[in-house]
């Protein structure tokens, strides 16, 4: 079942690239006591994700913070090394925290998995954006297949 407004963020472990190598981070650490904007993409370096989704959150990072976001994070079913390379390629710097859900554990717990096995991509994450306040979902928007409207940075700004 897909997560909805009012639901707690599920407990899971994600990976984050650091100068010392990948570091495990818990969803409890990430979401407790904060307002978090989390957006999910089907994959790093994919066309819409690279041309529009991540760049929008990088561009609007300061506006998201001004509207109350303590953390802006991107999640994909990729490994931490791929996400670090993608962040560098996109000039994301420290604006967006990149979170790797390599085995899609968190994605499945959110009910947002997308089976792209027939296209050679395996299980991925649906394109979505959510706002969580102190570990509970305050807003969630999941894109229809092939769409890019409700999860873009501008839409999240309106929701904050």
For residues 131 and 139, the answer to whether their CB atoms sit within 8 Å is: yes
Pinpoint the alpha helices (H) of the chain: 27-31, 47-48, 54-59, 61-66, 80-90, 105-110, 153-159
> Active site residue: 3, 37, 49, 92, which one?
49
Closest by CA position to 107, among listed 129, 121, 123, 96: 123
Which residues, listed in sequence order, are joined to residue 36 by a DSSP beta bridge? 71, 132
Q: How large is the C-alpha radius of gyration of the chain? A: 14
Task: Give the SS3 label for residue 99.
Answer: strand
Q: Is 74 a catalytic residue?
A: no
What are the C-alpha distances in Å from 82 to residues 11, 56, 98, 101, 136? 23, 19, 10, 11, 28
Which residues belong to the active site? 49
């Amino acid at each position: 079942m897909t997560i909805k407004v009012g639901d707690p963020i599920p407990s899971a472990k994600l990976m984050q690239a650091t100068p010392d190598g990948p570091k495990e981070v818990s969803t409890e650490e990430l979401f407790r006591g904060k307002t978090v904007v989390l957006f999910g993409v089907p994959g790093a370096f994919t066309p819409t994700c690279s041309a529009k989704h991540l760049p929008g959150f990088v561009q609007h990072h300061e506006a998201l913070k001004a509207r109350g976001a303590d953390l802006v994070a991107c999640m994909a079913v990729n490994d931490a090394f791929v996400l670090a390379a993608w962040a560098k390629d996109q000039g994301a710097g420290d604006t967006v925290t990149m979170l790797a859900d390599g085995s899609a554990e968190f994605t499945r717990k959110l009910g947002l998995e997308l089976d792209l096995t027939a296209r050679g991509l395996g299980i991925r994450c649906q394109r979505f954006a959510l706002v969580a306040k102190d570990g509970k979902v305050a807003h969630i928007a999941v894109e229809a297949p092939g769409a890019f409207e409700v999860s873009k940075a501008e839409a999240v700004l309106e929701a904050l």
